[in-house]
Structure 1
Amino acid sequence: MRRWIGPDRISALPDDLLLLAVARLRCARLAARTSVLAHWWRGLWCRLGQIVFHDVPFGWLEAALGHVDNSAVSLLEICVPRQRMPSPDPAGVSSLLNAAARLAPEKLVFALPGHLNSSSIDVNLSCFQRATSIELDSRLLFLRVPAGIDFPALETLSLSGMVPDLDPLLSGCPRLRTLRLESIAVADDRDELRVNSASLHELVVDLSRNWTRHRHVNIVAPVLKQLTSSFVASNVTISVMAPMVEKVRWDCSYCTYDRASIVFGLWRLEQVTLQTAERQGQLEICARASSHASHSEGDTFAQEIEKHMIAEFSVLELHLIANGHVFGALMFHLLGVIQICRSMQRLKVILNRSQVKEECPFGCPCEPSYWRSQTISLSALEEVEINGFEGENHEFDLLKLVFKCAPLLKKMTVKLSRKASASTKIYNIFNAYSSVECNVYHNSREYTVWQALSTYS
């Protein structure tokens, strides 16, 4: 029996509708295969406004771009998988970038995989006159910007890989609003990450996946509104000139096993985070006591933290992993930093204990004799909260010092640890400061001073 075949109504559709159907594939390679449907579909993909190559061998890409005859490409996306990428070839990569630039896309996404045990190659960045958004992701390229290359329409730039110097690139982007840098490394043994832009509104720097080689971080952005930074480093010089910044998330982690780790006595600095919200900013510091610290008593600890105070804050949150050691000396060393003294309105201390109770050996350097008689001016401090209070003698000494140094203190909250037992000693201390609202939490139950004195008397 002969099967009746009706007319080909799909191929009879206008080219504009056929292009919409092909564009739904979101892949130029699949779009090219539609030519097997009918001879008039052949070459239809070359007129697409969005050209996406996700699984095309590197050697075929330049020839494929040569077939595109659309002068109004809105998106050009090239993502080469590792198995489709040969050994790095500077001439081949440069030629491919030039072919991409000839299409003058409005948005460019260009991603090449890195190769293990492969040396990086230098590649000149081509000129993309119409591009408003560029995303370059490659761990094998040192991207250089030749003289005279600029990007007059560029508003969003994302870079992952290696850049010798950002200044030539950013100076050619007069309309740049958003810059994202991820896993950036510098060539020529340079040790500075410098971002200088008069138009930048948002900057994101994410170096959290690798130990940064940058010893200097220099940001000059007079109209910057939002700054997000995350990196792992030690002994970094930081300079941020962003007078109009409104929203900040600044996160620096420290390797506690590195010889250059930042220490104060037995305490090692683990993390510093500064973030600002609409109404207030918060500085968060995490430190851990370790018997393997170098016992340095210098000002390095406080100076390192001061580097990260790039925006105003009113809340200080301390995460202290005491491991059985005294933390009063460390706290007053930190609270004595001038900017903390003047700015801090609220102090929150979170004491994390080890599972196994440790005892300080005789003469342990965690408890120098001077800190109990230390006096600092906490002139702005209004509220204090301490979580994990165990009732040790040095903890009571710390409470007394805070009361003495904070004349405007309005509220003190102490949350006892599960192992701690409520005693009248803490309430007697609170009772001596009747002008301050004092509360104690024990086993999820709240006690005011007067309730506690009547309960435990």
Structure 2
Amino acid sequence: MESRLGGRCRPGAQPPRGPHRRCGGGGDGDGVDRISGLNDDLLIQVLVRLRSAAAAARTSVLSRRWRGLWRHLPELSFRRVAPDALQVALAQVAIPKLNLLHIDYPFHRSRLSAEAVASLLRPAARLDPVDLSIVAMADGTDEPIAVEVPSFARATSIRLHVLNLHLTPPAQGGDFPVLEMLSIVASGFDIGPLISRCSCLRVLEVVAYDRVVHTITVHSVTIEELLVTGDGWLRGLDIVAPMLKKFTLRESVDKDFVMSLFAPKVENLSWSCSVCFYPETVVIDASGMWRLDILKLETQESGFVLSLHNSATHTRNLQEMFQLPNISVLELKVKTSNGVESTEDL
């Protein structure tokens, strides 16, 4: 009978001792554990496919042969692991650099202290992964706690979804030289200085959950795709991105919102903005100009479609708020507060 490793088993032969033997028998019922007989590199490839560091660690109960192998995995994913246990696990990682590090502590499970969330960044920086993702929520406070983001020299993709924290760029000299994709969800961030450290950034996702009115500045000569969304009161957008091709904006904007847009190559737009009037009482000017409630701009096959929902009056016009790109074909849809909708080709 041929073994799966290419050897031949003699009838009645005793199974080998050591790492090749396992109580409970093998797949052929001969007591041989052929998987544990594989070399470390192959066993590590098996553990990688579990997509869970905790599951990989639990394989130690199968055999002493598997014990501690998870520490050599190039890809580690932790989900719902308590911060203290996670710190212990990260300290045991035996390889100096990781290909992937994903930490997911679901928002609905419970919130962590701001210090606990911030402490996840330090071992992550030490392991310097190519692909980094940290999803966690800190306890809410009146003022989000400022947390410095370490530099990651090898990272090509970073996803930081850390609500109730204010993210600040690394200290002077901390760069992200090969970073191509950056996704930030936070209650505050210094995105402009952070982007200036990213010389290869192509995709940027900024999600703001902050009731404080703020301005987002994006100046980059490499960004090709930009997504700005969230549940804040956006006061302004300052975009200088000569290579930008796709721009998505879904955000509540302040009544004094101003956009500055330089993106000569943009060809795919999707905007959906609701205008926040705070405080709720709005003084209506006697000039009779309309107030913008919702603006939508989308790219379609025939050109650009601009949809406006307006009611009452306001003292600002559209061009003061939104800087539109160069448009050759534009369809305008206007819906008033009494439900009347009109469409014009411009």
Scaled by the length of structure 1, what TM-score is found?
Answer: 0.62
Tell me if 1:47 matches 2:47: no
AA in 2 matched with 1:259 = T
Question: What is the match of residue 222 of structure 1?
Answer: 242
Bigger drift between 70-79 and 110-119 goes to 110-119
**Cα contact 1:272–1:308 (8 A) shared by 2:** no
1:139 to 150, 159, 163: 163
Q: Deviations over 1:188-227 (max 9, x none)?
A: x7732111111111111112xx241x32211111111111
AA in 1 matched with 2:330 = V
Question: What is the match of residue 102 of structure 1?
Answer: 126
Q: Deviations over 1:264-292 (max 9, x none)?
A: 8496433111223466222121234xxxx
What is the 5 A alignment of 1:17-28?
Answer: 17-28=42-53
Whole-angstrom distance in 2 between the partners of 1:246 and 1:195: 18
Q: CA deviation at 1:93?
A: 4.1
Question: What is the match of residue 454 of structure 1?
Answer: none
1:88 to 114, 129, 132: 114
Cα distance change, pair 308–9 in 1 and its aligned pair in 2 (3 A): same
Q: CA deviation at 1:86?
A: 3.7
- Give secondary structure in 2 for the equivalent of 1:254: strand
**Cα contact 2:112–2:138 (8 A) shared by 1:** no
**Cα contact 2:111–2:139 (8 A) shared by 1:** no
Whole-angstrom distance in 1 between the partners of 2:283 and 2:66: 64
Whole-angstrom distance in 1 between the partners of 2:156 and 2:283: 42
Q: CA deviation at 1:18?
A: 1.8
Question: What is the match of residue 272 of structure 1?
Answer: 295
Q: CA deviation at 1:94?
A: 4.2
Whole-angstrom distance in 2 between the partners of 1:4 and 1:309: 70
Whole-angstrom distance in 2 between the partners of 1:216 and 1:4: 66
- Give secondary structure in 1 for the equivalent of 2:239: strand
**Cα contact 2:228–2:248 (8 A) shared by 1:** yes
What is the 5 A alignment of 1:290-369?
Answer: 293=312, 296=313, 300-303=316-319, 307-321=322-336, 323=338, 347=344
2:151 to 93, 104, 127: 127
Q: CA deviation at 1:147?
A: 1.3
Whole-angstrom distance in 1 between the partners of 2:74 and 2:308: 50
1:74 to 99, 105, 116: 99
User: Which structure has the higher relative contact order (CA within 8 Å, separation 6+)?
Assistant: 2
AA in 2 matched with 1:109 = S
Q: CA deviation at 1:308?
A: 4.6
Cα distance change, pair 261–202 in 1 and its aligned pair in 2 (3 A): farther
- Give secondary structure in 2 for the equivalent of 1:274: strand
Whole-angstrom distance in 2 between the partners of 1:88 and 1:58: 11
Question: What is the match of residue 355 of structure 1?
Answer: none
**Cα contact 2:135–2:161 (8 A) shared by 1:** yes
Whole-angstrom distance in 2 between the partners of 1:48 and 1:171: 33
Q: Deviations over 1:16-66 (max 9, x none)?
A: 332222222211111111111111211111111210011110122222111
Question: What RMSD over aligned residues (CA atoms) do the two structures have, in Å?
Answer: 3.0
- Give secondary structure in 2 for the equivalent of 1:16: helix
AA in 1 matched with 2:132 = L
Whole-angstrom distance in 1 between the partners of 2:310 and 2:213: 31
Bigger drift between 167-176 and 61-70 goes to 61-70
Q: CA deviation at 1:320?
A: 2.2
Tell me if 1:192 matches 2:207: no
- Give secondary structure in 2 for the equivalent of 1:33: helix
Whole-angstrom distance in 1 between the partners of 2:59 and 2:24: 23
1:115 to 139, 142, 155: 139
The structure having more radius of gyration, on CA atoms, is 1
2:269 to 242, 248, 251: 248
- Give secondary structure in 2 for the equivalent of 1:174: coil
Q: CA deviation at 1:7?
A: 2.0
- Give unpaired runs (5+ residues) of structure 2: 1-22, 26-30
- Alignment coverage as a number of residue pairs: 314
**Cα contact 1:162–1:185 (8 A) shared by 2:** yes
Question: What is the match of residue 170 of structure 1?
Answer: 195
Q: CA deviation at 1:256?
A: 7.5
**Cα contact 2:209–2:232 (8 A) shared by 1:** no
Scaled by the length of structure 2, what TM-score is found?
Answer: 0.80
Question: What is the match of residue 259 of structure 1?
Answer: 281
Cα distance change, pair 4–35 in 1 and its aligned pair in 2 (3 A): closer
Cα distance change, pair 176–38 in 1 and its aligned pair in 2 (3 A): same
Bigger drift between 247-256 and 234-243 goes to 247-256
AA in 2 matched with 1:143 = L
- Give secondary structure in 2 for the equivalent of 1:148: coil
**Cα contact 1:104–1:129 (8 A) shared by 2:** yes
Identity %: 36
Q: CA deviation at 1:67?
A: 1.2
AA in 2 matched with 1:216 = G
**Cα contact 1:155–1:176 (8 A) shared by 2:** yes
Question: What is the match of residue 257 of structure 2?
Answer: 236
Q: CA deviation at 1:319?
A: 3.9
**Cα contact 2:150–2:174 (8 A) shared by 1:** yes
AA in 1 matched with 2:121 = L
Q: CA deviation at 1:4?
A: 7.9
Cα distance change, pair 16–272 in 1 and its aligned pair in 2 (3 A): same
**More strand by proportion, 1 or 2?**
2
- Give secondary structure in 2 for the equivalent of 1:236: strand
